Amino acid sequence: MVFNFEEEREAQKWWTIVSSSLREVQKASDSMLASQASSLPAAAAGVSTDQDPETALTLELSETEELALHLAQAIEYGDEEVASQCAVALARQQATLSILLKESNYPTDDISMKVGVEDATSSASITIRVRAHTTIATLKQQIFQDYGFHPLVQRWIIGQCLCVDERTVSSYGIRRDGDTAFLYLLSAKMAELTEQRYEEDQAQLMLSSTSSLSDAAGETHKYNTLPNMSPKKGWGNEAGRKMDIGEISQHLDTLQIGDLFSAQPKPAAASLPSPVQAGWSCPKCTFINKPTRPGCEMCSTDRPDDYVVPGSYKPDETELWRMQQEQEGILQYQQALEAERLKNFQQLLQMEEEVLVPNREVLECRICYQQVAPGEGVLLRECLHNFCRECLRQVINYSEEPEVACPFRDDSYACSSHLQEREIRALVSPEEYRRFLERSLVLAERRSQNSFHCKTTDCRGWCIYEDSVNEFRCPICQALNCLLCKAIHEGKNCRQYQDDLQVQAQNDSAARQTNDMLQTLVQIGEAMHCPTCLIIVQKKDGCDWIRCTVCQTEICWVTKGPRWGPGGPGDTSGGCRCNVNGQRCHPRCQNCH
């Protein structure tokens, strides 16, 4: 038996009356409990067969209710023996009971519970107010009333448990503000919810809500379960007799039933239907949003593109404040974004003025695999790869190219970027930088088709000539070089010099022996002619990749041809095409170039 009160003061007054009555009943019934308990099996065994079925059923229900009341009273006062006897008697009758704790056993504070709502296509988060004694069934009705989701489609999950309607939220661990629950919404088809059932339940819910509002406005007591303080016939002490629990229960039931009938709303007092709410319906969660909202308040879905705000719509103060906050937020975001851009631009200008860009975090050098502290490494500008300073210095000193390539390599990628000139100059010493420039000049001379080096021993002078020029005066040693004979023969013309050279070759046996030995090495495969300048080159041991010492052409030893195509290093349109499409260039290729 459950009584509901709108005000706490009304419940306290009712508790005072009931508790005083129960104490009087307890005094009178203490001596009767034992005798009544001994007669319980006989009552449970059935009624006399002499009585008609209707009278027998009425007596049986009365006895069952009396047993239930005695069980509740025995449990409340801690009488284990009588409670067990009542429970046994009810079990023999196979009576259907619903045992619930009273709300007074729970904390009375409201709890702000966070709820994650999800269905098959979308999700959202809401916050609802509950109490510790709120059952899952009551919670479903609350969601149905506030959001329109029928209880049949609701599946509540709290603490990794699928909740049942009879239990309270407190039993699942909802005890303080911020505790979380999850609500999964089934489809109407899966929940076997028909449109007629939904409309009927919704109408019933609206009717009960309307009745509650009418009662609250027109009556002092919402449910009026408290008896009048003036004496009535049939209530109170008659000739000093004390009433038992059964009489009190029967009288209260009579009062409650009468009040409920008197509280029935009249058809004429039914409230008019509320006007249709203006706004747009979310295509995902169906929530009705205000016309000016750019996204759904529940699930953040964008407003439909074809929706137009009605011209007659006037936002209220709350919505105007929200729109103003949105405008201010957008303005603040744009200002912060512009400030961030300006800050990044200033940092880029500052970094551009620095010769070397140091690393800001600890890194592992991909060459020596050592940990490099912040500021001790270098970030290359073109490719943003990090290396330690010493490894980059060694790469520059051993580079045979005028442009030093980034040394980053892995199994699937080789960086094609290069170090900038200011980075090279800052990483090496002045002497190392001078030698690097000299190597670059030598390589530039060798790779130039119309270049000529001075024939004076150990002279570093060279030039790039045109077809109309036949002589070159070295600016370093001042020797006059003949571009036709590729020699220095001052005082002789070209014919005189060539005749003297042929005579010298015929009389020089050492020159002939050397020439014969080189030709034999070429024939047996231990030497080859450079495919570019045709000088004889040899491979002592090791990799199949060699470089001509005169023209610097990269050569594949097993194919006896150039390693790369006309475009130079990396051009696989020509050359040996080793490892192109996973194929080696020759059956004897060692796959090392």
Question: HSE of 443 in the Cβ direction (CA atoms, 13 Å)?
Answer: 14
C-beta of residue 557 within 8 angstroms of C-beta of residue 546? yes
Closest CA to 213 of 274, 270, 141, 268: 270
Residue 387 in contact with residue 365, Cβ under 8 Å? Answer: yes
SS3 114: strand
With beta carbons less than 8 A apart as the criterion, state whether 382 and 420 touch.
Answer: yes
Nearest alpha carbon to residue 254 among 243, 264, 246, 265: 246
d(C-alpha 95, C-alpha 82), whole Å? 18
Residue 285: active-site member: no
277: left (phi over 0), alpha (psi -120 to 50) or beta: beta
Q: Is 468 exposed, middle or buried (0-12, 13-18, 19+ CB in 10 A)?
A: exposed
C-alpha torsion sign, points 561, 565, 567, 568: negative
Strand partners, 387: 378
Where b means 16+ CB within 10 Å and e means fewer, 331-370 reads eeeeeeeeeeeeeeeeeeeeeeeeebbebeeebebebeee
The answer to whether the CB of 379 falls within 8 A of the CB of 359 is: yes
Place of tokens 């801690």: 78
| Spatial separation of the C-alpha atoms in residues 96 and 474, rounded to whole Å | 121
Distance CA 383, CA 376 (A): 18
Among residues 161, 368, 494, 543, the one annotated as catalytic is 543
Active-site annotation, residues:
543
